[in-house]
Amino acid sequence: MNDLPTGRFDPQRFASLVLIGARASGKSRAARIAAQRTGWKRISTDERIEARLGPISTFVARHGWEPFRDEETAELASIAGTGLIVDCGGGVLEHPRNLALLRRLGAIVWIRATLPVIEARLDRAGRRARRPPLLPGSTDPVAEAAAVLARRTPIYREAADFEVWSHPEGEAGDRLVKAHFGPSMAVVAAAGADPVDTPERVTAEAFAHAGPFDLVELRWDGFARQRLDASRLRGVIRSLPRSRRARLLVTVRSPEEGGRLDRPDRERARLLLEAADAGAGAVDLEAATDRRSGWTLSRRLREAAPALRIFGSVHDLARCPRRLGALAAGMDPMDGHAGPAVRKIAVRTRSAGDLARVGRFLRDAHRGSRRVIGIGLGERGAALRVVAESLGSALATYAPPPGRNRTAPGQLDSDAVRSRAARWGRHLAAPVPVYGVLGHPVGHSLSPPMHEAAFRRAGLEATYRKFAVPPDELATFLDAARLLGVAGLNVTVPHKTAVLELLDDVDPEAERIGAANTIVRVGDRLVGRNTDASGAVRALEEGRPAGWLDGLRVTVLGAGGSARAVLSGLLASGARPVVVSRDDGKAARLAREFEAGSAPWADRARLEGDVLVNATPVGMRGGPGGSGWREARAAPDGTIAGHDAVFDLVYEPRRTALLRRAEALGKRTIPGLSMLVFQAEAAFAAWTGVEGTAGVMREAAGAASGMRRSASRGR
């Protein structure tokens, strides 16, 4: 929350921040605000170099960029310590040594801005004189910025741990802090079944799990069985350091709204007044209780502690009312006095429609500058607990520490919220359309450089991210994607089949294959498609006449999702496929389903045909068995010799061991990168309507592979 106290906190608990990004992207302003919020030390590499060498523009004019890059590397090498926010020049990654130096310092954050925002900033008076040209003979800083950004974007992407967008509607420094330290939440301190769960103990535990910008909610109603009185509450609050009292939110929830203290309003009100007088930073006041008091309770609380923040709250445990805005507006006193500082609406969410209703409420309130919190009660509300802050919620969620019982249905613990936010939640929101690849793992994926290159070629402002989502988070992630309006997704292992049941619609080919590798947003609906089948066919036909596959004998190794897609494409093209798998029964069942042939695994060395297709992950870098003995068993030389061409769906490495052995036997080879490019081109066309991007995608994938090989050799 923006009004939380700031100050220095233990830098050992969090990595320092290193900001990279294009000229005029907003790095320096983000660094200054983040330093103010955290109390950390801001270091500008450009400012330190200018203190030694004079103006950068003068130095570059005399000596050129290469000597400047050497000075930049020396400056980075001299920086050490913790609790730092390092603001780097836009070209810091042009020097090959610098990436290792940046990683040594802390988490690398790519501060991004759209090209129109960068152009507007570069056009401001005084900017041009201070900034030396980046390209030889350049006189147009706007055209120069676009060209340099296109060249550096793949470098920034590969280096960054995460990205933060800078744009006129919001402050990048605030978003930077929230992205790094996790979404701000109220960590719940509540009694469990253990009698040693004293208020002092659970409050200390909650603060131990709270981030520097989190609140701690002391659920005093949770201690109803211990019959603790108001003096004990005062003692608990007064025992806290002043900085912690300011972050303490005291709640005495009624049974009607999910609490445990079955006492009259006046008794619960007395506890809230005691908390305010003892110095708690905030209290939760149920709107119904305040209304029954004729709004006198909220007035008495303000009189007792003028600096107190009142969280007005409404909890509907049974349903999601249609007019959530009216519930928030109903917290305003009828006598003209000020309403609560923050309005919390917690409602039961059972469907995507309920989630969308809460999302619209948060967006509308944010546009109207009203501070609200939106909570989706129940398991379907889990997505809101990760991304509500991106929709405008004043707090992301309420969460117990790990190992503690939930105090509301559907709660995630604080570690789960932070983990999901770090891995995919913070990547879902941007001022431009968001696309991405969804899988687990996705670190090896070449999809980001391919699609971002296609967006640049098409002149479209968009971003493409990797979303690492384990299977147990898939449903929650898709709900979050709906809430934040994600424009499109690629889907990879292990989600291609599981995702079908979670989508709003699936096209006939994806349904037949039993897998979706592409998700297209149509209005508010997520629709599954499969472009693997057409991608495989186009890879096989590349450089061949139309209809070349008709009548060809094709041996398909594997009986998983990739094999199903290949079979679908082959049969639609008139080919005659035969399925071979280590599991003979699975191969036979797949062959019957698709009306194809099958052969026993033991006979694979004697098989003959026109094309051999490896539709297994064997041979993939980092995959099962690597490129060693398992691949040799899957495709012995006898199998390769019995076919004219070999197609390996594995694309990393580009020349697999299978393809190298096929080349040695004089066979035509088809790399998996071709299928990757063609399926990606089809997905891109489905999202944007833009076709003909295969060339630029292939070039970008090749460059990214080369960059990774170089980085690997450098390590």
- Tens-place pLDDT, residues 234-287: 999 999 999 999 999 999 999 999 998 888 999 999 999 999 999 999 999 999
In percent, the amount of the chain with pLDDT more than 90 equals 71
Joined together, the tokens standing for residue 569 give 């494409």
DSSP state of 316: E
Residue-wise pLDDT for 619-631, tens only, equals 776 554 444 434 4
Q: What is the pLDDT of residue 346?
A: 97
Q: Decide: residue 585, CB within 10 A, 0-12 exposed, 13-18 middle, 19+ buried.
A: exposed
Active-site positions? Answer: 496
Classify domain 182-423 by CATH number: 3.20.20.70
* pLDDT above 80 for 134: no
pLDDT at 15: 86
Report residue 191's pLDDT band, with 50, 70 and 90 as the boundaries.
Answer: confident
CATH 3.40.50.300 domain locations along the chain: 11-179
Q: Is 391 helix (H, G, I), strand (E, B) or coil?
A: helix
Residue 100: both structure tokens together: 């290792």
Top-level class of domain 11-179: alpha beta
pTM of the model: 0.88
Q: What amino acid is encoded at 301 in this protein?
A: L
Of 2-11, 210-219, 262-271, 400-409, the one with minimum mean pLDDT is: 2-11
Cβ neighbours of 230 (radius 10 Å): 17
Whether omega before 264 lies within 30 degrees of 0, making that bond cis, reads no
How far is it, in rounded angstroms, from Cα 47 to Cα 51? 6
- Mean pLDDT over the full length of the chain: 89
Please give the single-letter amino acid code of residue 315.
H
Half-sphere exposure of 649 (CA within 13 A, CB side): 23
Domain with CATH 3.40.50.720 in the chain: 534-670
Strands 185-189 and 488-491: unpaired
Distance CA 208, CA 514 (A): 46
Indicate where the chain has its CATH 3.20.20.70 domain(s): 182-423
C-beta separation of 216 from 249 below 8 A? yes
| pLDDT, average across residues 415-428 | 93
Cα 247 to Cα 5: distance, rounded to the nearest angstrom: 8
434-530+679-714 is classed CATH 3.40.50.10860: yes
Q: CA 259 → CA 15, 253, 315, 348, 520, distances in Å?
A: 38, 4, 10, 15, 42
CB 99 within 8 A of CB 159: yes
> Mapped to the 3 state alphabet, what secondary structure does 37-100 carry?
HHCCEEEEHHHHHHHHHCCHHHHHHHHCHHHHHHHHHHHHHHCCCCCEEEECCCCHHHCCCHHH
Which of 138, 57, 50, 64 shows the shortest CA–CA distance to 94?
A: 64
Q: Give residue-wise pLDDT tens across range 449-496.
A: 999 999 999 999 999 999 999 999 999 999 999 999 999 999 998 999
Question: pLDDT tens across 162-175, in order?
Answer: 999 987 655 788 88
**What angle do helix axes 694-714 and 672-688 make, rounded to 10 degrees?**
130
Domain span(s) for CATH 3.40.50.10860 in the chain = 434-530+679-714
Q: What is the pLDDT of residue 76?
A: 95
Q: What are the C-alpha distances in Å from 647 to residues 405, 450, 554, 572, 616?
A: 53, 21, 10, 18, 11
**What CATH number is given for 534-670 in this structure?**
3.40.50.720
Whole-number Å distance between alpha carbons of 14 and 82: 9
Q: How far apart are CA 249 and CA 237, in angstroms?
A: 10
pLDDT digits (tens, 9 = 90+) for 512-551: 999 999 999 999 899 999 999 999 999 999 999 888 999 9
